[in-house]
Amino acid sequence: MEKNQGRFKLYRVKSKIQAVKRDGTGVEEFVTIYPGTTVLVTGQERQSGMVDILADGEFVSVLKRELEEHGDRTA
């Protein structure tokens, strides 16, 4: 069983990660999450490998693999 299963997960980003921000009208833009940012995983991994996170007050999507490679799990 995975640690903290069913609970939110926190990561501290240690190197830049590219994320996708959606504005609700179908428009997507790339945003950068910078080192030192603490992000909260808010959803389960989708078939595409993406997960939703909260970073700097905005909901964005990142590849779970990127988050695990470029972030340290803190909770």
Mean pLDDT of 26-44: 94
| 38 within some domain | yes
The residue range of the domain holding 15 is 9-73
**Where does residue 12 rank: exposed (0-12), middle (13-18), buried (19+ CB within 10 A)?**
middle
Contacts of 40 (CB under 8 A, 6+ apart): 8, 9, 10, 53, 54, 55
| 4 within some domain | no
What is the reported pLDDT for 6? 55
In the predicted model, is pLDDT for residue 8 greater than 90?
no
| 19 within some domain | yes
| 52 within some domain | yes
* Cα–Cα dist 19/13, whole Å: 12
| 53 within some domain | yes
CATH number of the CATH domain containing 14: 2.30.30.40
Output the CA angle 56-7-17, nearest 5 degrees: 35
* Reported confidence tier of residue 30, pLDDT bands at 50, 70, 90: very high
| 23 within some domain | yes
Q: Check: CB of residue 34 under 8 Å from CB of residue 62.
A: no
pTM over 0.85: no
What is the reported pLDDT for 1? 37
In the predicted model, is pLDDT for residue 25 greater than 60?
yes
| 3 within some domain | no
